[in-house]
Structure 1
Amino acid sequence: MAFEVRHVCAGTAARTMAQAIIHPIDTVKTRLQVTAPALKLQRWQQRIKDNPLDLYVANRRVVHTRNWLIRGPKDVYRGLTGAVLGTIPTAMLYFTTYEWCKTRLEARGAPSAITHLVSASAGAVMSAFIRVPTDTIKHRVQAYMETDVFLGARHILASEGVRGLYQGLVPTLMRDVPEIAIQFALYEKLRKVVESRRGLAKLHTWEHLVLGGFSGACAATATMPLDFAKTTIQCGSSQPVRQVLKAAVQQHGPAGLFRGMTPRVCQTAIMSAMFFTLFEFWKAQLKPHHHRGTRDRLLEPKIWHKRRTHVWKRQFVQQ
């Protein structure tokens, strides 16, 4: 299997598996961001307020938080089918575009940082045209607006047409491109600072995990208002981005723009760490058997001891 094809397949598999695992966090984030919830979602929101999750140690309450699993684990996996079916072609187009741009920019002698940033941004823009329709359906199922992914797709097409599936395209692009730029720039800056202070040529893998997760969390926080607008529009709002943000500030103050921030920051940080591990796993599995070395057969040591940075640059996929 060609080098680029192997990376595309490994990236697609890693992204799909990671998305399936963090889907419950995405469900919670979506439900917190919906401004005009369906009756069933209103009941869910009220129940998690009335039934907090408490943890006592030595008769002292050390945890007091909302019980997101109030309706059981199955409930937070609503829309998983749409998420998986949408992630596969989206990730494949993203990584194909990424590798295509990267190869051509490297051939022209472009700096490494510019190459990865432009390639990742191009991949995000191209894949958005597949991702947005599936995201719209998924969010509506998560928010109890639709009962099933396939029935939801039929209902949206019948009532709103193809245009209804592409609600949220503009805020998606407005969010993804700066998010990638912030995450990449911050990661590169932190990596250089740590390397210079410690006098190292390259960092350990666990350090890349920490820096990548931190930069991803910061990028997610910075683009939170746009993510809120995207979810709101995809869940039925007919207002433009500016009006959605203005209404949120009027109703809830500036904090209204950051609804769902905690699960989204957690989602982005976990996704970054999981993608790295799964990408290495699938890349080793797809390597021809006669090209595999001892380190490939001992996958876990390879993942946790291999030192490299370019996998982080490749993983800047929209969250």
Structure 2
Amino acid sequence: MASKDRNALAKTNPAFSLASGTLAGAVEGFATYPIEYTKTVSQFATKAGAKPPNPLVIVKDTVAQHGIRGLYSGCGALVAGNALKAGVRFLSYDHFKSMLKDNDGKLSGPRSLLAGLGAGMTEAVFAVTPSETINRTKLIDDAKRVAPKYPRGLVSGSMAIIRDEGLHGVYRGLVPVMLRQGANSAVRFGTYSTLRNFVQGSSRPGQPLPGGITFGIGALAGIVTVYATMPLDVVKTRMQSLEARQNYTGTFDCMRKILSNEGVFAFWRGATPRLARLMLSGGIVFTVYEQSMDLLDRFFDK
């Protein structure tokens, strides 16, 4: 049986959304982790008024000191966290999308943005904040110390951070994460949905898109997302650092100090590695998700 266009379906199976989103997040997380590592190190390493280190230099130095495995420091945590995040994100997005569709089963651009915003906020609370605070930002930041404070293992490192800082420490930076994830998902899903509907309506009405086209649309959505939301990502990273309690009283204090001490362009620091990551991320995650959903639809609709 030919695969159906899921955009035309009245409702998406929640179990399919969760399973496909989880798979897409795991694949995307592993494939793009070295770029994410480089971006995070760049944001932490730069002092006020200084030029950010070249991403290639960071990669070279990391490999020289720790080998290729150094670029995957904390990778297991990110893959697990990314799988959880993407599962929650796509499950939430499809839920909000079903709620916001009109009587003809179509989703307008503004409503797609709203559905993405809801998905991003949900993802931030239930998956992104604890995952990034414990397993990515703190462990990457701690690993750069001469004498690391926390164990490098996923479980042991996470438990040590929770014992040291408690749940309040785990959810430090929740506001900027919610802002960033809401904006990220709104822009990414809104852009992807608009481009997908345009391509599908003009050349493939009622037919699923090939993987190559899906990848390209997802990559373009990633480019738009980077430049629209980079300031929120920088603030989020600073607020989740090990020194956040000493340096900032809150999210808006962090924004004010970055602006006054480092200038407006500091909000786009790390944009180059993040651009590379989100281009790949957008292409990979939407392609894997769409292909997985199509396979599940075909298998269970016999």
Q: Does the TM-score normalized on the shorter chain lie above 0.5?
A: yes
Counterpart of 1:135 in structure 2: which amino acid?
A: E
Pick from 59, 63, 66 the counterpart of residue 69 of structure 1.
Answer: 63
The answer on whether the counterparts of 1:8 and 1:96 sit within 8 Å (CA) in structure 2 is yes
Offset at residue 81 of structure 1 (A):
2.0
Name the counterpart of 2:180. Answer: 175
Q: How does 1:202-241 map to 2 (within 5 A)?
A: 205=210, 206-236=212-242, 237-238=244-245, 239=248, 240-241=250-251
Please list every run of 5 or more consecutive structure 2 residues that lacks an aligned counterpart in the other structure. 1-11
Name the counterpart of 1:117. Answer: 113
Offset at residue 176 of structure 1 (A):
2.0
Q: Does 1:136 align with 2:141?
A: no
Name the counterpart of 1:156. Answer: 161
Offset at residue 259 of structure 1 (A):
1.7
The answer on whether the counterparts of 1:125 and 1:173 sit within 8 Å (CA) in structure 2 is yes
The answer on whether the counterparts of 1:86 and 1:134 sit within 8 Å (CA) in structure 2 is yes
Q: How does 1:30-41 map to 2 (within 5 A)?
A: 30-34=40-44
Q: Does 1:81 align with 2:69?
A: no
The answer on whether the counterparts of 1:19 and 1:83 sit within 8 Å (CA) in structure 2 is yes
The answer on whether the counterparts of 2:128 and 2:177 sit within 8 Å (CA) in structure 1 is no
Offset at residue 188 of structure 1 (A):
5.8
Name the counterpart of 1:296. Answer: none
Q: Cα–Cα, structure 1 residues 215 and 278, in superposed 2: closer, same or farther, change >3 Å?
A: closer
Offset at residue 66 of structure 1 (A):
5.8
Offset at residue 127 of structure 1 (A):
1.8
The answer to which of 207-216 and 225-234 deviates more is 207-216
Q: Secondary structure at the match of 1:167?
A: coil
Q: Cα–Cα, structure 1 residues 279 and 176, in superposed 2: closer, same or farther, change >3 Å?
A: same
Distance 1:204 1:100 in 2: 22
Question: What is the TM-score with the length of structure 1 in the denominator?
Answer: 0.71
Name the % identity.
Answer: 23
- Cα RMSD after superposing both structures: 3.5
1:169-226 CA deviation, whole Å, 9 max, x = no partner? Answer: 1111111222333334445666788899xx6466964455334322321221221111
The answer on whether the counterparts of 2:29 and 2:82 sit within 8 Å (CA) in structure 1 is yes
Name the counterpart of 2:92. Answer: 97
Name the counterpart of 1:26. Answer: 36
Please list every run of 5 or more consecutive structure 1 residues that lacks an aligned counterpart in the other structure. 38-44, 54-64, 293-319
Counterpart of 1:132 in structure 2: which amino acid?
A: T
Q: Cα–Cα, structure 1 residues 92 and 208, in superposed 2: closer, same or farther, change >3 Å?
A: closer
Name the counterpart of 2:5. Answer: none
The answer on whether the counterparts of 2:116 and 2:189 sit within 8 Å (CA) in structure 1 is no
Offset at residue 23 of structure 1 (A):
1.1
Offset at residue 266 of structure 1 (A):
0.8
1:11-41 CA deviation, whole Å, 9 max, x = no partner? Answer: 211122111211111111111112689xxxx
Q: Cα–Cα, structure 1 residues 147 and 165, in superposed 2: closer, same or farther, change >3 Å?
A: same
Distance 1:241 1:267 in 2: 25
Offset at residue 164 of structure 1 (A):
0.2
Counterpart of 1:6 in structure 2: which amino acid?
A: F
The answer on whether the counterparts of 1:187 and 1:212 sit within 8 Å (CA) in structure 2 is yes
Distance 2:233 2:115 in 1: 22
Pick from 17, 30, 34 the counterpart of residue 7 of structure 1.
Answer: 17
Name the counterpart of 1:282. Answer: 292
Q: Secondary structure at the match of 1:112?
A: coil
Q: Cα–Cα, structure 1 residues 156 and 262, in superposed 2: closer, same or farther, change >3 Å?
A: same
Pick from 277, 284, 298 the counterpart of residue 267 of structure 1.
Answer: 277
The answer on whether the counterparts of 2:123 and 2:181 sit within 8 Å (CA) in structure 1 is no
The answer on whether the counterparts of 2:162 and 2:169 sit within 8 Å (CA) in structure 1 is yes
Q: Cα–Cα, structure 1 residues 268 and 282, in superposed 2: closer, same or farther, change >3 Å?
A: same
Offset at residue 229 of structure 1 (A):
0.8
Distance 1:103 1:171 in 2: 27
Question: What is the TM-score with the length of structure 2 in the denominator?
Answer: 0.74
